[in-house]
Structure 1
Amino acid sequence: MPVTLHPVDRGAWEADAQARTDLARIYADAPAERLPAPADTFIEDHLTAGGAFLCARFNDRLIGAVALRDDGKAWWLSHFCVRKPTRRRGVGSRLLALVGEAASAEEKPLRAELAQLQMADQLMLSRLGYRLDRSGDHYELVLPGCHTKESPR
């Protein structure tokens, strides 16, 4: 499945009607307990707070997404979701691999708060090389060229 990475920030959200529709469909497919608010509200709130979404694109449609918050030191990932019709086909793993490539290019480690992850998310992250931080509060993937507080530049 040739999946590519497609970022959606506030500007893309406002300018691209198809991205709005697709992102709303992705999160509408999420179980209610995975989102802090209804899908449209969650997306709007995340973008208003300065966040973005990194999405999996296939055949000119967004089929998966992860919420991104950049704190200047790392990219924090949350709210992983893949459209129901494309689940169990490697889209989530491919999306996270593409996110890893983008983070490496920006020299940012990837992190995901443990409190926001369901068990399936934790298993996927572990399989992809993320490790629980020494503090035990988040998973982290340190990519080549990236440095964390434990490994200063």
Structure 2
Amino acid sequence: MGGLGRRAVGDAGARSRLRRPDGLRQLDGRGRPLPLRAALAGISVRDLRRGATATGAQQIASGRSPELRTIVGDMLRVSHNDYAEKLLWASGMKAGTSRTWAGVTSYSRSQVAGYGVSTYGSVTADGSGLSRSDRLTSHTLAQLVLALRKHPRSAR
């Protein structure tokens, strides 16, 4: 049982990351749902809602993430589609949009419009751009590239 013994997971922390914001289950590296992986380690998962950490709860894991600029650089350099999808969701969640696809894409469009770029005729079906339903005009793409190039934080 990996030395963890039998523990019940508290009301927050790692459990809140077991589901994507759109409600789909996250999978571990072997393609199993994370609640199943937790069960195999002797950890019971009662539900997957966000909540407050119980008083006296013991931390059983932690992690660190690279800076966002590093993640975005990796995403762009190797076309990492999972990163693109997660960053789209994370930006919407951070901004406080509704936890729906409509809320996230509406926020994304508002950010693009903030650069003076028209999204007329565009359709966002996923965050990676891989869906056959995604639509982006060449005019919108050119406007966006030029706007980002002019941005003060743009690396020249």
TM-score by length of 2: 0.28
Larger Cα-atom Rg? 2
Q: Which has the higher contact order (CA 8 A, sep 6+)?
A: 1
Structure with the higher strand share, 1 or 2: 1
TM-score by length of 1: 0.28
